[in-house]
Amino acid sequence: MGTTATQQTLWDRSRQAVVASIYDTAMRLFAEQGYEATTIAQIAKEAGISQRSLFRYFGTKEDIVCGEQEELGELLRATVEAQPAAATAWEALRAGFVVLMDAHGEPGQLLEITTMIFDTPSLRSRYTQKRLRWQEMVLPAVAARMGAGEGPIPEVRAAAVVATVFACVDAATEAWVRSGGRADLPVLYDEALAAVRA
């Protein structure tokens, strides 16, 4: 059992190292020559692996930038569910997004990724698709927190809260990117939400 666990840990570390190498290589190439001009073949060659191996870690070029969105969606859902019972849906969702910001690590890395997503139509499209998936994932937790019962009306109320929060996050994030990361992202979000709820 100990040997199996050790092997699994070594495999995980090895996989994480390869993923980090591919990601770092891709981001360097994107910065040097632009996202659209960079090919999968170039990334694989620079990372020292075959294209086939690269596709085992990332299904598409877009996934190199946006690939962890499913895991982040799960983190958002779990964080919302874990908030105290007294927290409102608005408060629980805000806590979830703060955790997601921390999950991206260094703010400079988050700014680099987000700027690239907003500046590249194909990435923006993939990002939007995955954000819609996040809304589906978190909706049951929000509905439960709001005490939504059966029927279309409670479901609409919960869906409206989720959609509003995501719109405020997007508005705040775009403003944060335009500021070059100098503005405080949580403060921008609070201002966006206050404007909607006024």
**Helix, strand, or coil (residue 34):** coil
Distance between CA atoms of residues 109 and 87, nearest Å: 30
pLDDT tens digits for the chain (198 residues)?
455 556 567 767 787 888 889 989 999 999 899 999 999 999 999 999 999 999 988 888 988 888 767 788 899 999 999 999 999 999 999 999 999 888 776 778 888 888 999 999 989 988 888 889 999 999 999 999 888 555 566 788 999 999 999 999 999 999 999 999 999 999 999 999 999 987
User: Are 89 and 164 members of one domain?
Assistant: yes
Distance between CA atoms of residues 39 and 106, nearest Å: 26
DSSP for 62-113? HHHHHTTHHHHHHHHHHHHHHS-TTS-HHHHHHHHHHHHHHHT-SHHHHHHH
Q: Return the structure tokens found at 41.
A: 């073949």
User: The CATH number of the domain where 131 resides is what?
Assistant: 1.10.357.10
User: Are 156 and 88 members of one domain?
Assistant: yes
Q: What is the pLDDT of residue 15?
A: 79
Q: Which CB contacts under 8 angstroms, 24+ apart, belong to 133-138?
A: 133/69, 133/70, 133/73, 134/69, 134/72, 134/73, 134/76, 134/166, 135/159, 135/162, 135/163, 135/166, 137/73, 137/74, 137/76, 137/77, 138/73, 138/76, 138/77, 138/80, 138/93, 138/96, 138/162
Domain that holds residue 79: 65-197
User: Are 29 and 94 members of one domain?
Assistant: no
User: Are 75 and 172 members of one domain?
Assistant: yes
User: Are 136 and 54 members of one domain?
Assistant: no
User: Are 119 and 171 members of one domain?
Assistant: yes
Q: Return the structure tokens found at 112.
A: 């680099």
For the chain, the domain total comes to: 2
Q: What is the pLDDT of residue 71?
A: 83
User: Are 43 and 87 members of one domain?
Assistant: no
